[in-house]
Amino acid sequence: MNILKKSVIHTLVVASCMAGLPVFSHAAMVSNDILAQESSGNDGAAADAKGRLRALLARNEVQSELSKRGVNPAEAMDRVNALTDAEAAQLAQTIDTAPAGGDILGLAFTVFIILLVTDILGLTKVFPFTRAIR
């Protein structure tokens, strides 16, 4: 047991001494040419994402829903134009992956849980496998 304590103490002493040593990192200037080359690969995808968002906002049913909710369609189009490339791509991906018509499975599960709780409390008798606590 004494050997274990000594090895732990030695390890902690070495670790605490090493914690005070400076850590070096390397940083360099990045030229505009390198930045232009890296960003030129994403320009097509970003323009495509903004184009898809503009086409979505140009649809009559979308404009009518925006108006119903108190949003000016022209203002929404201005906001889409003001999005950065990354924001436009993220918004387009969110729209593409969103379920159409909402989450029906989540709604059905919520209704099931509510009915189950009311059955257990004795307020309803929907499920035959429950017993009321009253």
Please write the tens of the pLDDT for every residue from 12-60: 888 877 777 776 767 778 777 776 666 555 555 667 888 888 888 888 8
What kind and span of H or E run contains 116?
helix 104-121
Q: Is the pTM of this model over 0.75?
A: no
Does residue 75 carry a pLDDT above 60?
Answer: yes
What was the pLDDT predicted at 62? 83
For the chain, the domains span 44-98, 101-134
More confident residue, 107 or 10: 10
User: What is the average per-residue pLDDT within 86-113?
Assistant: 76
27 Cβ contact partners less than 8 Å away, ≥ 6 residues apart: none
More confident residue, 27 or 74: 74
Q: Provide the percentage of residues in the chain whose pLDDT is more than 90.
A: 0
Of the candidates 84, 7, 10, 104, the one whose C-alpha atom is nearest the C-alpha of residue 42 is 84
